[in-house]
Amino acid sequence: VIAVLCGGVGAARFLSGLLDVVDAGDVVAIVNTGDDTELHGLSISPDLDTITYTLSGRVNPATGWGLAGDDFTTMDALDALGGATWFRLGNLDLATHLYRTGRLRAGASLSEVTADLARAFGLGLRLLPMSDDPVRTVLELASGGEVSFQDYFVRLRHSVAVKSVRFAGADAARPGPGVLEALGSASIIVIAPSNPVVSIDPILAVPGVRALLASRRRDVVGISPIVAGAALKGPADRLLAELGSEASAAAVARWLTDVCGTLVIDEADADQVAGVESAGMECVATATVMKDAETAAGLARTVLACGGTPDPDRMQAAG
């Protein structure tokens, strides 16, 4: 089994490549729910949906979230009523949120609903929320006050400086069903190229997860989401700098070194290898910018070949 800690868009792209080289039945994705939000009375799980939509081939390719070909006439009608429309919910996307909300209201767990949605979208891998209990990323702004993740990321377009980040509910959250078992039995654990601050840290904050990865750090392989000093998408570079670190592969290594033994960085960052190694990690430089399916598959092969305990199926896939 290959376990992958996932955020949103970057993780979804990596999973696409991974599923080109191994059987979906061997993959378990453990997904951040700190971005989750309630809007219009609907329970919305953006990272779970981005992965589901991407792996089913139905994601809006221009944005990396929502559904291709969706339209927003319901949003327009809501706007005409004076409703909040800053968080864009397409008509087809709304079906997912209506379904999830109805099931949760009827007593289903987020894990059960996620498994049913994954099946409905034809996915073969296991998609596990990091917890079925509410965990919400909260950002304290340098200008004062706190905002939810989606307020920060979408309404404020992450254009404000952040002083600190916390994960409300994490201490009381239980790992989702199967999460610790998958992390304990996987032959390799991959930290996808997601934002270490607001996508990976929430997963590590779920009680038991960080300690388990630390005990298996030699089998944990991460992929730097920072390439040549910048994030490919989103605010990871600014957040690292605002929180006292810096936007570099070596800084990502320092951020993850207690739970991760190997960092895969982009070939553009060959000058960062020494910095990654001085953080106590193995370092492999390769093409990590997943501009097409071939690059994503190649990255997956490289990741599988450079970490974890021997597993003939996995090694065969690594080529």
Note the residues at the interface with ligand FO1 (CB under 6 A).
7-9, 35, 44, 46-47, 49-50, 65-66, 87-89, 93, 150, 153-154
The burial class, CB within 10 Å (0-12 / 13-18 / 19+), for 292 is exposed
Q: At closest approach, how far in Å is the CB of 64 from ligand FO1?
A: 6
Sequence-ordered alpha helix ranges (H) in the chain: 9-21, 46-55, 73-80, 91-105, 110-120, 149-150, 179-185, 201-204, 209-215, 236-242, 249-256, 273-278, 293-305, 312-318
Query: What's the rounded Cα separation, in Å, for the pair 241 and 173?
Result: 29
Smaller CB separation from ligand FO1, 60 or 286: 60
Q: At closest approach, how far in Å is the CB of 44 from ligand FO1?
A: 6
Smaller CB separation from ligand FO1, 3 or 192: 192
Smaller CB separation from ligand FO1, 121 or 153: 153
Q: At closest approach, how far in Å is the CB of 227 from ligand FO1?
A: 18
Cα 261 to the center of its chain, rounded Å: 19
Tokens for 27?
């993959």
Q: At closest approach, how far in Å is the CB of 159 from ligand FO1?
A: 12
Query: What's the rounded Cα separation, in Å, for the pair 13 and 55?
Result: 8
Smaller CB separation from ligand FO1, 60 or 295: 60
Decide if 36 contacts 136 (C-beta within 8 A).
Answer: yes
Smaller CB separation from ligand FO1, 79 or 294: 79
Smaller CB separation from ligand FO1, 87 or 99: 87
Smaller CB separation from ligand FO1, 44 or 276: 44
Q: At closest approach, how far in Å is the CB of 198 from ligand FO1?
A: 8
Q: At closest approach, how far in Å is the CB of 139 from ligand FO1?
A: 13
Tokens for 226?
């920072």
Smaller CB separation from ligand FO1, 150 or 262: 150
Q: Which amino acid is at 168?
A: A
Q: At closest approach, how far in Å is the CB of 93 from ligand FO1?
A: 6
Question: Interior CA angle at 118 toward 194 and 298, to 5°?
Answer: 45
- The residue with its CB nearest to ligand FO1 is 8
Q: At closest approach, how far in Å is the CB of 261 from ligand FO1?
A: 26
Tell which residue, 318, 178, 44, has the closest CA to residue 52. Answer: 44
**C-alpha to C-alpha distances, 218 to 2, 3, 14, 304, 306, nearest whole angstrom:** 14, 14, 21, 13, 10
Decide if 223 contacts 193 (C-beta within 8 A).
Answer: yes
Decide if 146 contacts 163 (C-beta within 8 A).
Answer: no
